Chains A and B, each alone.
Chain A
Amino acid sequence: MSDRANLIYRYDGSLPGLLCCVFESCRTGRLPLDIWEDGEPSTSLAPELTIPADREEAAQVWRRLRQLSHEAARWTEVGFLSGAEDKALALHDFLCEAFRRGRGIAGFLGDPVVARAFQLQRQVHNEAHLLLEFLRFEDHQGVLAARIEPKAFVLPLMGGHFAARFPGEAFLIYDVAHGAVLLHQGGRMEIRPLEDLVLDAPSPEEARFQELWRRYYDTIAIKERLNPRCRMNHCAKRFWNHMLEMPGPGAPKALETSGPRPEKLPPEGQALLAGAAQR
Chain B
Amino acid sequence: MELMEKLEILSDAAKYDASCTSSGSSRSTPEGGLGNCHIAGLCHSFAADGRCISLLKVLMTNYCVYDCRYCINRRSNDVPRAAFAPRELADLTIQFYRRNYIEGLFLSSGVMKDADHTAERMLRVLEILRQEYRFGGYIHVKAIPGADDAIIRRLGLLADRISVNIEMPSSQSLVRLCPEKTKSSILGPMGFIRDGIRENSSDIVRYRHAPQFAPAGQSTQMIVGATPENDLTILRLTQGLYRKYQLKRVFFSAYVPVVQDALLPAGTKPPLLREHRLYQADWLLRFYGFAAEELLDEEHPSFSPYVDPKCNWALNHLDRFPVEVNTAPYETLLRVPGIGVKSAQRILTARRHSRLDWPQLRKIGVVLKRAQYFLLCGGRAPEGLRVTQDGVLRALISQKDRELLAAQHPQGEQLSLFGPTQEQLTREDVMQCLTGQI
Interfacial residues, chain A to chain B (CB-CB below 8 A): 109-110, 132-139, 144, 146, 162, 164-169, 209, 211-213, 215-231, 233-235, 243, 245-246
Cβ-defined contact, B53 with A215, below 8 A: no
Q: Are B100 and A137 in contact (CB under 8 A)?
A: yes
Chain B residues, Cβ within 8 Å of A220: 11, 15, 47, 53, 57
CA distance A235 to B47 in the complex (A): 10
Given A110-B364, A165-B34, residue A231 in contact with residue B46 (CB < 8 A): yes
Could you say which of B34, B46, B98 contacts A234, with CB atoms under 8 Å apart?
B46
- Pull 28 A–B residue pairs with CB atoms less than 8 Å apart, ordered by A: A133-B43, A134-B44, A136-B101, A137-B98, A137-B100, A144-B98, A166-B34, A168-B32, A209-B95, A213-B96, A215-B4, A216-B11, A219-B12, A220-B47, A221-B47, A222-B15, A222-B49, A222-B270, A224-B270, A225-B50, A225-B51, A225-B256, A225-B270, A227-B48, A227-B49, A227-B50, A231-B48, A233-B50
Q: A216-B11, A220-B53 are in contact. Are A234 and B43 (CB under 8 A)?
A: yes
Count A-B pairs with CB separation below 8 Å.
125
Contacts of A218 on B, CB cut-off 8 Å?
48
B364 and A139 form a contact (CB under 8 A): no
Contacts of A226 in B (CB 8 A): 48-49
Scan residues 45-70 of chain B and give those whose CB is less than 8 A from a CB of chain A. 45-53, 56-57
B31 → chain A closest CB, angstroms: 9
Residues 8-59 (chain B) with a chain A CB within 8 angstroms? 8, 11-12, 15-16, 28-29, 32-36, 42-53, 56-57
Closest chain A residue to B257 by CB distance? A224
Which single residue of chain A is at the shortest CB-CB distance from B349?
A107
**Are B36 and A165 in contact, CB atoms less than 8 angstroms apart?**
yes
Closest CB in chain B relative to A220 CB, distance in Å? 5
A146–B42 CA distance with the chains assembled, in angstroms: 18
The residue in chain A whose Cβ has the minimal distance to the Cβ of B32 is A168
| Distance of B98 from chain A, by nearest CB (Å) | 7
Task: Establish whether residues A212 and B46, one from each chain, have CB atoms under 8 Å apart when the complex forms.
Answer: no
Whether B16 pairs with A235 at a CB distance below 8 angstroms is no
Contacts of A169 in B (CB 8 A): 34, 98
B45 cross-chain contacts in A, Cβ below 8 A: 133-134, 217, 235, 243, 245-246
Q: Which of A110, A220, A231 has the most CB of B within 10 A?
A: A220
Q: What 0/1 pattern do residues 152 to 169 of B give for CB contact below 8 A with A?
A: 000000000000000000
Residues of B within 8 A of A212 (CB): 3-4, 7, 92, 96
- Asked whether A109 and B12 contact (CB < 8 A) given A165-B35, A221-B49, A225-B49, the answer is no
Chain B residue contacts of A167, Cβ below 8 A: 29, 34
A144: chain B residues at CB < 8 Å are: 98-99
Q: A136-B99, A220-B15 are in contact. Are A215 and B256 (CB under 8 A)?
A: no
**A234 / chain B contacts, CB cutoff of 8 Å:** 43, 46, 50, 52
Q: Is B272 at the interface (CB under 8 A from chain A)?
A: yes
Q: Is B363 an interface residue (CB 8 A)?
A: yes
Q: A222-B15, A227-B50 are in contact. Are A164 and B28 (CB under 8 A)?
A: yes
Q: A133-B44, A235-B46 are in contact. Are A211 and B4 (CB under 8 A)?
A: yes
B171 at the interface (CB under 8 A from A): no
Chain A residues with CB below 8 A from B360, complex form: 110
In the bound complex, do residue A231 and residue B50 qualify as a contact, i.e. CB atoms below 8 Å apart? yes
Known contacts A168-B32, A220-B47: does B57 contact A139 (CB below 8 Å)? no
- How far in angstroms is the closest Cβ of chain B from A135? 6
* Closest residue of B by beta carbon distance from A130: B43
B198 within 8 A of A: no
The complex places the Cα of A167 from the Cα of B35 at a distance, in Å, of 9
How far is A278 from B270 in the complex, measured between Cα atoms in Å?
A: 54
15 more A-B residue pairs beyond the given contacts A213-B96, A220-B47, A245-B45, with a C-beta to C-beta distance below 8 A: A138-B99, A168-B32, A211-B4, A212-B96, A218-B48, A219-B11, A221-B15, A221-B48, A221-B49, A222-B15, A222-B49, A225-B254, A228-B50, A231-B46, A231-B50
CB distance from B400 to the nearest CB of A (A): 9
Given A212-B4, A219-B15, decide whether A133 and B42 contact each other with a Cβ distance below 8 A: yes
Minimum CB–CB distance for A125 against chain B, Å: 13
Please, how many angstroms separate the alpha-carbon atoms of A218 and B49 in the complex?
10
